Structure 1
């Protein structure tokens, strides 16, 4: 039974059973598997094919294993026979014959091994290998020859192996039924004859083992120790032999990388006096038994444990010998032999100490070497030769001074004692006890477990995937049922008419159904596949339902919107009305239907008319409208149109000239070209932003669209024919109504060109009139700007030269008109023929010759072109005058700083004269230089100051303060702390502007500030109300910024005065600073804001709690908002206020004491402050 189970768990058998089980599953269960409605395993042919494939895989794997084993055996046998040449020293001449004989005999053995399976247990590689090591003459070979093992190759090779019992030259290989035994030369162990050669041969031999038996090079090591060496060698000799054995075992560990059991075999025990006589009566079976000790094999057992157990085990052996003495003496008649038998246990006991020391020397562990696995110590005798040693009598003779009497030599008997079972029953069964090459085994285990894990993961993932798919598909079906029912109710509740926005919830829900319209291009999720996906069926139903609801609800509303737009034709531009009619006609004519055009119109109409809809709603609606148009593309029936409405609209549109429609189409096409825009910033260079501004407030990075440029002009010319083509293709929109309005094709061409010229001129006139110089804030700024304008890299020169180029169309006169005329001629030829027929005209005159004058654009901007033409140009001469202005402004600034009178303004006067008659924008820029410089220099500064004020503090005040709390008490949005400080703090925008520009003109000595008489003589003219606003700002500065910082702050004390009897506790937390009061403890507290502790929050808690809960405010003005919830009454003392909080009729009275009479709690100054828009 044991053999059966051993056979059953072999990998090949287990693999076969697995394949067989898989075949049964395929045959009986696979037909039940379906994928997308198909049953791939229903056919017997398919199932047989899969089964044969799996069995072929199993057979291939088995063959591969056999091939690998055969290849390993073959490689090893070649190596043993010398096929693999190893780099080694050549043998000495006297050993050449012996080496040749060894090679021949081994080759013969290999030839027989190739034909015979050793012992029926597999190849040479699969048998366990044991190595004998020991000193020369230690009895290794004798133990093998007298072991009683069967050597199948003995008949072929002869019983006398190379070296035989007379000594092993290097290594003898003994092949048995159960194992391969390696009998190494004794010199490999001692390495004392030729140390270098012996060590190299030993190392090479180990490498050979490791190369061809990588997993488990050896299964065990048998260390032979002759008893004669133990008894006769000196201590030094025994220690040397022990160290040699220890070194060889260590080298085996290091070189082979495995841990193996070590069996110590004490040989030549027949030299122990009485051995032969004691065991003479044993039969063959009894001599084959084991005599020795096998140490227990326990987890964690080490060599030291075995050594510690040796004395007790040895004493048990000795005790067994003692127990048998009397029986043996009774069997023996010879008195001399009886004496030897009697003394034999004592002789055996006498070797314990020396053997113990020897074992300690060989196997004692230390931290620097790998620990050997001492498996057991055994005693044997191969042949009985030599004279026994009587240690007992020798010791007694030495003690009493008697002469030592030698024992007679043993007579050779040819018997072996205690070897056969030791090998067959102790060592060979423990073949698996040896470790394996850990690095190799780790890789093998990782590969094996990785394969198993991969297979398991695949099966687990496959099972999990199918389970997940089933669960998700069930959930998907249930979800679709629930959502479909809910959507059906929503559709039924929709009004017949109304805004398209009302449809969004229903349409969005239908569109986003899983697997529906939004998912039409998506594949099934992996987690819902495995043949179970239901989305194809349900998704198609969802898409059909979505299209039907679009057709029934969205289409009527879109059509109604188009008809409403057409009926309001007077309220819409003709161009827009034309587009509405065009898409309306498309809805009723499948041959002319264009989904993108209709959807684009719908999206545009949504943007124009659905003002209350959010951007997200408009985007969603556009997506639904495009989906509706896709319905028509897929063959959906077109709706019926209103023919009377179409007729009326065509009559209205017939009034729009053809040239206007052509030009409008060209403009739209040019806009889509996205030609580079011309702007003052791009033309004026990097300093343009420091020089130019636009009067309209537009940024200087905006300018004239690229369609109004020479490049746009060329595009206009090239696209004219296409524009006429498009208009001709759409003649169906107006039927034949426009034919009577087409007019002469030459006039159409000229008209289209004239429309373009007019737009070109208007666009550039608007830009040139809008560009001006940045106002001079100071004389120094004016000097910097005029220096820039007059320099070699002048932004003004760059801007005007670039504008001149952009307004020069190359002198083109009428080629464009001729191009458009030719296009119109070709496309409107049919119109002309009908017109001539109707008018009975025979006039075949050629088109009128184009005008000879320059195009209107060049003519209109001729002054600008002349200004920038030539070297040097008139513009260069004008800009040269600005150098004198810059010098003048620098001198005026220096004079103002020193208090000296300003220099004469001749330079400004010259500029003023130069400005007359100059084209825009040069003339207006020169005038602004004159007025700005003169105003700064002469002291008439109101315009300058107003420009500075509106560009700086006024703008910031409107953005940061206006309409915000605490300026507006009812405002929900707070002024931020940083913005409040930036505007009102000392050195802030208002304080800095006032100090630098107005303080010198103001009398601040009274309760109300007044303009000084010298400043109110007409030079400034700023109203008193404006000055009052600056005084309020100063009061705010003094109240909130007493410490001179940039952030508003305040310090105050709060003292509880009285608590309602119904209040047991009052707690006020102001920005992390707490005032706590009870009826018996009204303790005041000091506060500073901001404190940096509470995150800008104020909380008021009363106990018992208020029905409205805790009062809570937050933000930079949290304390002021809390005071707004209380009653604050000022007292006669400016720094004191009575504050009363009311919680459901329960009142708490406090006294607030500010740190100064000038404090922020008098709110009138804040609430009366308003931003000054202009001075």
Structure 2
């Protein structure tokens, strides 16, 4: 089963299976793969598929040959560089050798390298180059039996015929080792003195490390596959503990050097050689046949967990050593029975015991060699093995030596056994244990990490490429299928819409749905973000071409006729006053003349027409524009123009003055119509101060209406624009091409100049009127704006005036001289619009100069004299200082209040008023800006003043109201709690809380009379809410009502006279304090009453019936009378101070006529309870 699995998993077998699978895929799936827009199937034919399969196998074979060639090159390069080491390292080696010996060794090594470069070794996985074979290093002290073990190992040495059976001696960097070449591996048998480095230490180490560097260079992943440590058992058994310790540390040092230098952690196989020197070994195993002698005798340790270094495990060693010992003991009896020599029998019998005594020194040696060292990489001890290459020397009897030592007897040497020349336990150690584990070696960490990430990247890239390829192919096919379905759907919908299109219906909106479907169908393939994906699917370009062709054809049969009809309709209805008439006729004529056809002219007219025709239907305009672009993108056949529409349009156009047509043509020129950004000229501070009104063109001006544009406009008789306009008059018909004489051209240019000057004035007038000062947000911002405006150099007002003057002072300022020559006269005529010069020879001013003269004079001044605007800037600085006093005060709102109060009382005699006075004499634009500044400043002062008033109101009035009066009777009629009369008086009395506040804070800003009107100055006053004024008015009425006679205590007087009483009531009596009223249906007599009375404030009302039944109602408290009035019915008579008050209880009523001293009295409905103190004014 293993052989079958091994055969199937063999790399070559898997490669063949993969090639066959790909061939089947090519053969079966090739015809279904299509590429490109023409659906080409490159593998559709049998021949193509056969060629593809042959190419596939050819590439595989070529790759294999290339790999073999590379390996051969690597081997040759490695051996050449090994040989090259000789030049720098053989000098020291030759010191102990004769010249002849060195020459022989050099020639033998060179011949060996020549053979090795050409040799293929027969490995179980196939023939391999030297580079591909595993490489092992054998290290050990001198005389440890390394070479003997290799010679007697029974391994196959394929180069024995050419190079001899012995090892190849190294030279140069490898002079300290012998080379052994087997079919399974390359073995480097190092000299013992390399291990101990007890001679020429520096030279030996440097040369050897040079060779190791070559291995690292050419075998980056695994410079070696393992190391074999050969230790003579004789040394272990005969050395003292200190000698063994030194020996172990020396070997550990060599191992650490290899691990550190090579950068890998390789498996280490410890082989104790010369085991035949153990007493009884040769006698015990001499009957073993060849197969038994080739078996492995030793122990193999389990591999440690990855990433976890493991020191030598003594317990595991003891356990496995005991297992080896237990395998020997059962064989003792059988071997002793067959042996006849008594001495040999004794040796055989004692051999297990001899082996047992070896445990301790061996364990001690391994512990010292492979103990854990946290400063070094822990070596990977793979196993411990015992072997014998040949049987010679004096055996060691540790048992007899120990007994002799204990009893002080001389030790007796074991007799010498003649050499047998047999190898024990070596062959399979190499073939079954060491060589099969060639891949176990850890790779060079840095190089392996690089390879690891490269492999990951390559595998990831391949996986990604595979997934993406499948995804792309699937997506491409799916998309193309979807596109075909979408094209079909759009064409079906187009047919549905086309049915509803009538030739007599010229509405463009009617054809939009049908054209949209054709457009979408033609754009299906254009929506592909990655067009190359289409080529991977089954894309058929014929569908796309047909869809686009149909769309273009329908544009000419559906859209173009309706555009033609729209031109005809427009021209038939156009009037001579229509500014678009000229462009309309020109665009229509171009549709019928391919030589003069200009798509931009036609498009511009249609876009303008659609904007008017479909106003508010932005989507319709956008869709029509898209179809128009596609229509004009392709050549159009000239239309058969409607003669009637042409004649009608030409007739109307002939009515348009030539000057107007030429001026409109000049205005539409892109050179003159481009917008000039004035922001750079005005500066950032101007944009900070000024804002534009709605629909104004602030900070932007067409180039034609700047001074540079004025200079660039050529309105002379020879102007190219005028000539071109006359040349374009072919659109009017034959007779319209008549030539004008100079006199007629002069009149035309004068009219054109008139249009230009009028619009020039209008443009700059709109610019100035569009400028408005931004509203001030707070005092700090207003101060900053005032500082900007008042700046004598960088004021935004100066910037606006400067830009305006630079572009509205069109006449050149030339000293007054007589201009007698014709050339000077022509220049004067051009700039002034007049053929004559003014008095003194100075150019006459243009209408623009005259219109803006007053404005431009503001910033103009004679040498050394101040400008007119400088006085205004001074007024602005005064207003700024006025605000500074407020802002820098400890309490800004209080300072603003005092300033507002002072301005109100003074009637406006201050810096704000002065600014308004200065502004009133300035041009309207500047006047408006300054009025805004003054108004905004006054508004903010009042706003802050009100804030102060509100703060004082809360502290002086509202808080007292909340704490003493709120939710108490009589201010709240339904309240249970009654407010104290003292608190009421302190709030409402003259000089009380409310009255003091009104006199101090309200009276300067409000007419405190019956009207209670807010005082206004410059159109503004303290913004007190009408509701707050109503409440203050009520508080004043309460003061006048209850404190008219006594300024400290609320009181009022009135007369009462019986008016009517129920007949069932015999007597009615009303008393409060010591005052009493009584009525018994007798004479009606008036009586004066006062509240509060002298005898108290409690009120008692009594009804006595005819049946002597008495009903009494009593009211207690200081406000008892007011409670009685609130529960009674009060009606006003024709006299404003006379009331009928009806007292009632349990159906009994008595009406009294009450006459108050004033119309302002408590008998008015809710005269007191309607007062509510506002939280803020």
Instruction: Report the TM-score, using the length of structure 2 for normalisation.
Output: 0.67
Does structure 2 retain, via aligned residues, the 8 Å contact 1:670–1:716? no
Change (3 A) 1:145 1:752: same
Task: Report deviation, 1:665.
Answer: 0.9
Does structure 2 retain, via aligned residues, the 8 Å contact 1:690–1:785? no
Of the structure 1 ranges 582-591 and 93-102, higher mean CA displacement relative to structure 2 is found in 93-102
Could you tell me which runs of 5 or more consecutive residues in structure 1 were left unpaired when the two chains were aligned: 823-847, 917-921, 954-993, 1040-1131, 1134-1155, 1167-1175
Could you tell me which runs of 5 or more consecutive residues in structure 2 were left unpaired when the two chains were aligned: 886-898, 947-997, 1035-1125, 1128-1168
SS of 1:324 mapped into structure 2: helix
Q: Write the deviation string for residues 356-407 of structure 1: whole angstroms up to 9, x where unpaired.
A: 3322333344655444443333322333333222223334445556554332
Task: Report deviation, 1:271.
Answer: 2.2
Larger Rg belongs to? 2
Does structure 2 retain, via aligned residues, the 8 Å contact 1:684–1:796? no
Confirm whether residue 730 of structure 1 aligns to residue 725 of structure 2.
no
Q: Write the deviation string for residues 230-249 of structure 1: whole angstroms up to 9, x where unpaired.
A: 22211111222222223333
Does structure 1 retain, via aligned residues, the 8 Å contact 2:226–2:268? yes
2:580 aligned residue: 576
Does structure 1 retain, via aligned residues, the 8 Å contact 2:663–2:755? no
1:754 aligned residue: 751
Confirm whether residue 1031 of structure 1 aligns to residue 1021 of structure 2.
no
1:1056 aligned residue: none
Query: Residues 539-558 of structure 1: matches in 2 within 5 Å?
Result: 539-547=544-552, 549-551=554-556, 553-558=558-563
Task: Report deviation, 1:735.
Answer: 0.9
1:1153 aligned residue: none
SS of 1:273 mapped into structure 2: coil
Q: Write the deviation string for residues 694-731 of structure 1: whole angstroms up to 9, x where unpaired.
A: 9x988693586431344223332189744335434433
SS of 2:714 mapped into structure 1: helix
Confirm whether residue 872 of structure 1 aligns to residue 851 of structure 2.
no
Change (3 A) 1:118 1:875: same
Of the structure 1 ranges 403-412 and 26-35, higher mean CA displacement relative to structure 2 is found in 26-35
Change (3 A) 1:818 1:685: same
Change (3 A) 1:549 1:80: closer
Task: Report deviation, 1:662.
Answer: 1.9
2:1152 aligned residue: none
1:1064 aligned residue: none
2:635 aligned residue: 634
Confirm whether residue 437 of structure 1 aligns to residue 441 of structure 2.
no
Distance (whole Å) between structure 2 residues aligned to residue 502 and residue 689 of structure 1: 48
Does structure 2 retain, via aligned residues, the 8 Å contact 1:670–1:712? no
Distance (whole Å) between structure 2 residues aligned to residue 584 and residue 549 of structure 1: 21
Distance (whole Å) between structure 2 residues aligned to residue 105 and residue 580 of structure 1: 106
1:76 aligned residue: 78
Corresponding residue to 1:701 among 690, 693, 698: 698
Does structure 2 retain, via aligned residues, the 8 Å contact 1:363–1:374? yes
Query: Residues 416-431 of structure 1: matches in 2 within 5 Å?
Result: 416-431=423-438
1:651 aligned residue: 651
Distance (whole Å) between structure 1 residues aligned to residue 334 and residue 918 of structure 2: 155
Distance (whole Å) between structure 2 residues aligned to residue 861 and residue 50 of structure 1: 89
Distance (whole Å) between structure 1 residues aligned to residue 763 and residue 295 of structure 2: 124
Change (3 A) 1:912 1:930: farther
Distance (whole Å) between structure 2 residues aligned to residue 160 and residue 790 of structure 1: 109
Change (3 A) 1:506 1:710: same
Query: Residues 952-971 of structure 1: matches in 2 within 5 Å?
Result: none
1:1147 aligned residue: none
Does structure 1 retain, via aligned residues, the 8 Å contact 2:1012–2:1033? no
Does structure 1 retain, via aligned residues, the 8 Å contact 2:672–2:703? no
Of the structure 1 ranges 226-235 and 768-777, higher mean CA displacement relative to structure 2 is found in 768-777
Does structure 1 retain, via aligned residues, the 8 Å contact 2:882–2:911? no
Distance (whole Å) between structure 2 residues aligned to residue 714 and residue 592 of structure 1: 32
Does structure 2 retain, via aligned residues, the 8 Å contact 1:228–1:271? yes
Distance (whole Å) between structure 2 residues aligned to residue 154 and residue 931 of structure 1: 119
Of the structure 1 ranges 866-875 and 313-322, higher mean CA displacement relative to structure 2 is found in 866-875
Does structure 1 retain, via aligned residues, the 8 Å contact 2:512–2:624? yes
Q: Write the deviation string for residues 299-338 of structure 1: whole angstroms up to 9, x where unpaired.
A: 7798668753433433343344333333333333332222
1:624 aligned residue: 627
SS of 2:130 mapped into structure 1: coil
Distance (whole Å) between structure 2 residues aligned to residue 506 and residue 292 of structure 1: 93
Does structure 1 retain, via aligned residues, the 8 Å contact 2:271–2:385? yes
When the two structures are aligned, how many residues end up with a matched partner?
Answer: 948
Confirm whether residue 562 of structure 1 aligns to residue 574 of structure 2.
no
Confirm whether residue 861 of structure 1 aligns to residue 862 of structure 2.
no
Change (3 A) 1:569 1:293: closer
Confirm whether residue 385 of structure 1 aligns to residue 373 of structure 2.
no
Task: Report deviation, 1:773.
Answer: 10
Query: Residues 400-419 of structure 1: matches in 2 within 5 Å?
Result: 404-419=411-426
Task: Report deviation, 1:512.
Answer: 2.8
Distance (whole Å) between structure 2 residues aligned to residue 260 and residue 47 of structure 1: 49
SS of 1:730 mapped into structure 2: helix
Distance (whole Å) between structure 1 residues aligned to residue 613 and residue 689 of structure 2: 42
Alignment RMSD, CA only?
5.7
1:213 aligned residue: 219
Change (3 A) 1:369 1:83: closer
Does structure 2 retain, via aligned residues, the 8 Å contact 1:659–1:749? no
SS of 1:436 mapped into structure 2: coil
Distance (whole Å) between structure 1 residues aligned to residue 507 and residue 477 of structure 2: 42
1:222 aligned residue: 228
Does structure 1 retain, via aligned residues, the 8 Å contact 2:872–2:918? no
2:710 aligned residue: 713
Change (3 A) 1:8 1:735: same
Change (3 A) 1:86 1:1009: farther
Q: Write the deviation string for residues 600-646 of structure 1: whole angstroms up to 9, x where unpaired.
A: 222212222323x333332223323444445xx534573x5443343
Change (3 A) 1:100 1:3: farther
Distance (whole Å) between structure 2 residues aligned to residue 504 and residue 999 of structure 1: 72
SS of 1:348 mapped into structure 2: helix
Does structure 2 retain, via aligned residues, the 8 Å contact 1:381–1:418? yes
Distance (whole Å) between structure 2 residues aligned to residue 890 and residue 77 of structure 1: 97
Corresponding residue to 1:488 among 473, 483, 495: 495
Q: Write the deviation string for residues 805-851 of structure 1: whole angstroms up to 9, x where unpaired.
A: 533244899989989999xxxxxxxxxxxxxxxxxxxxxxxxx9965
Query: Residues 489-568 of structure 1: matches in 2 within 5 Å?
Result: 489-494=496-501, 496-497=504-505, 499-501=507-509, 503-513=511-521, 515=523, 525-534=531-540, 536-547=541-552, 549-551=554-556, 553-568=558-573
Change (3 A) 1:199 1:926: closer
Instruction: Report the TM-score, using the length of structure 1 for normalisation.
Output: 0.67
Does structure 1 retain, via aligned residues, the 8 Å contact 2:919–2:931? no
Distance (whole Å) between structure 2 residues aligned to residue 155 and residue 892 of structure 1: 121
Does structure 2 retain, via aligned residues, the 8 Å contact 1:260–1:373? yes
Distance (whole Å) between structure 2 residues aligned to residue 381 and residue 624 of structure 1: 99
SS of 2:282 mapped into structure 1: helix
Confirm whether residue 259 of structure 1 aligns to residue 265 of structure 2.
yes
Q: Write the deviation string for residues 958-990 of structure 1: whole angstroms up to 9, x where unpaired.
A: xxxxxxxxxxxxxxxxxxxxxxxxxxxxxxxxx
Does structure 1 retain, via aligned residues, the 8 Å contact 2:387–2:424? yes
Corresponding residue to 1:330 among 333, 337, 344: 337
Does structure 1 retain, via aligned residues, the 8 Å contact 2:145–2:273? yes
Task: Report deviation, 1:656.
Answer: 1.9
Confirm whether residue 170 of structure 1 aligns to residue 176 of structure 2.
yes
Task: Report deviation, 1:39.
Answer: 3.6
Distance (whole Å) between structure 2 residues aligned to residue 289 and residue 615 of structure 1: 97
Distance (whole Å) between structure 2 residues aligned to residue 556 and residue 564 of structure 1: 12
Corresponding residue to 1:126 among 123, 132, 137: 132
Does structure 2 retain, via aligned residues, the 8 Å contact 1:226–1:268? yes
2:1095 aligned residue: none
